[in-house]
Chain A
Amino acid sequence: MRRYGTSFQQTYRTLIAYVLLTFGAIVFGLPFFWMLSTSLKPIEDVFLLPIKWIPNPIKWNNYIEALTAVPFGRYFINSTKITLFSIIGHLISCTLAAYGFARIPFKGRDILFFLLLGTMMLPSQVTIIPLFIIFKQLGWVNTHLPLYIPSFFGGAFYIFLLRQYFMTIPTELEEAAIIDGCGYIRIFWDIYLPLSKNALITVVIFSFMGSWNDFFRPLIFINSPDKFTVPLGLAGFRSEMGNYWHYLMAASVVAVIPCILLYFFFQRYFIEGIALTGLKS
């Protein structure tokens, strides 16, 4: 009797959960669906009431017209280049620093680590004005350098994440290696990096998103259209295209696709990375 009761309750709860989840998914997914639908409509159907949800006829040409109206290919190449260099920079500087902070007891380590964590508290608005002045004096304004060079000099969040991960690797491995006569560099390269594949992928993904979706810094440092990144190009496209929503949505779809693909392939790492920051703080 009791068992029947609980299983009935269980089914009832599952049903409620499904109903609520489906409702939520529709609310959350609808803007995406509408973006896709608008992007494939002929212009006269865009401003049609009641709304036509399924485009008919499907106008694939919108994409070609939108992407050739402004040099989106150029923006894509620019964004790809900046993102790639940022990731490489973060991988080099952050893995090295994380290992140093995790395993080498050098003098002043704790103070430096404390300073590093302190930089996470610093809002980027405080440093952006002097950085702009510095980069202007270096002649770097309106080049891509200010957007990726800083990542070769660390990133507090990634260093913290990698350090936490490195600390979970048992030191016995290291002690064995030291008896073997390996130095710190060898240990770092031969033991820590190969064992930290998951953490490294997490860093790559977050670095990708930070760089690919960044709008504030490109807006400040870049002003000639041939150097635009995808988000900048999209913003410029908006002021140029005004009410051509089918073109704007087509461009948005293209801008959003790399992120969605990345998410599909590396879902697990997204979740782990975020969960790690949540728990450790």
Chain B
Amino acid sequence: MRLLRSKKFRINLVGYGFVLLSALGIFFFNLGPMLSSFYLSFCNYDIITPPKFIGLTNFYNILFNDKIFWKAFVNTVYYVGVSVPLRLLFAFLIAILLNQKIRGMGFYRTIFYLPTVTSGVAMALIWTWVLNPSFGIINMVLNFFGIQGPAWLGDPKWAMPGIILVALWQVGTQVVIFLSGLQNVPTQFYEAAEIDGAGSFRKHLFITIPLISPIFFFNLVIGIIQSFQVFDKVYIMTAGGPANATIVYVMYLYEKAFTWLQMGYGSALAWILFFIIMMLTLLQFKFSKWVYYEGGR
């Protein structure tokens, strides 16, 4: 009995030893900061003087007295609403093309994947130049077709579409996830459909899409979570301008917390963001009846 207990004890000890560093990480770099950020969101705090508890004032001010917050919120919803569906569609089409068994595929995969592996800051810089109204290649192509291109990042109406273009270019991760799903679709299904005379388009519509719907779902959830936190591109390309036309949620949070040192206000913003993301994720799971799981759920 004593021996058994001591063996159990030793296993526990060794186990804790293995996970010690990570457990410390969970408590000191995640849960602890999470709790203190929650507390700070009810405080006025500028780093220099100690935090002062002010109840729900931050939340009240954000929701009812802060025009720029609502501007940032609407801009972010615009960015998410346009870029997420387009990226899903785009990534899916590219994945279908890349799934063909033809020669030279490694080359094509590399090209489609490169924008995703390289630094976001460099990508944003390249695109600022690509979208240059007078000398950029986009307007040059438009010009070729007789269209006068817009001022893109300099025009409040076109700055956000410009940023969304960059997001469309960085779909490599989603493509790879779709590809891995496509490669798991059993070929018998396609063969059966071919015997029934189904064309390429119908085969994908009726076989591929239902079978990889879990992957669609995964990409959708991750896509929404990530797009809601868009920052690098916006910071480099427009810094929120012109006239706050591209100020997005995290950009505004960054400015409040680290430019104006309103740490309490910033924490409240962070918690509202967290709440929005959680709600969206839960909603998606609730309405995920369209997802097909092989062998039931």
Q: Which residues of A contact B (CB under 8 A)?
A: 13-14, 17-18, 20-21, 24-25, 28-32, 34-35, 38, 46-47, 49-51, 92-94, 96-97, 99-101, 104-107, 109, 112, 115-116, 119, 121-134, 136, 150, 152-155, 159, 183-185, 188, 209, 212-213, 215-216, 219-220, 230-231, 234-235, 238, 245, 248-249, 252, 255-256, 259-260, 262-264, 267, 270-271, 274-275, 277-279, 281
Contacts and interface: CB of A to CB of B under 8 A. Distances in A.
Contact of B118 (A96, A119, A124, A256): A256
B15 A267 contact: no
Interface string B200-235: 100000000000000100110000010001011001
A32 B102 CA distance: 25
Interface of A is mostly: helix
B151 interface: no
B180 interface: yes
A231 B169 contact: no
Given A47-B135, A127-B29, A213-B119, 13 more contacts: A13-B200, A24-B112, A31-B127, A93-B22, A96-B18, A105-B11, A122-B274, A133-B36, A213-B118, A234-B119, A252-B122, A263-B113, A275-B179
A100 B236 contact: no
A55 to B, nearest CB: 14
Contacts of B118: 213, 256, 259-260
Interface size of B as a range: 35 or more
A94 B30 CA distance: 16
B33 interface: yes
B22 A129 contact: no
A93 B21 contact: yes
A134 B111 contact: no
B173 interface: yes
A51 B19 contact: no
B21 A99 contact: no
A209 B166 CA distance: 19
B62 interface: no
B163 to A, nearest CB: 14
A162 to B, nearest CB: 11
A275 to B, nearest CB: 4
Interface of B: 11-12, 14-26, 28-34, 36-37, 40, 47, 94, 97-98, 100, 102, 106-115, 117-122, 125-130, 132, 134-135, 137, 140, 169, 173, 176-177, 179-181, 184, 200, 215, 218-219, 225, 229, 231-232, 235-236, 250, 253-254, 257-258, 263, 266-267, 269-271, 273-274, 277-278, 281
B112 A25 contact: yes
Contacts of A126: 33-34, 37, 267, 270-271, 273-274
A121 B26 CA distance: 13
A24 B169 contact: no
A51 B37 contact: no
A24 B90 CA distance: 11
19 contacts: A24-B94, A28-B114, A50-B140, A96-B22, A104-B18, A107-B12, A112-B19, A129-B33, A129-B266, A130-B34, A130-B267, A153-B22, A153-B29, A184-B14, A231-B121, A245-B129, A255-B119, A263-B117, A281-B218
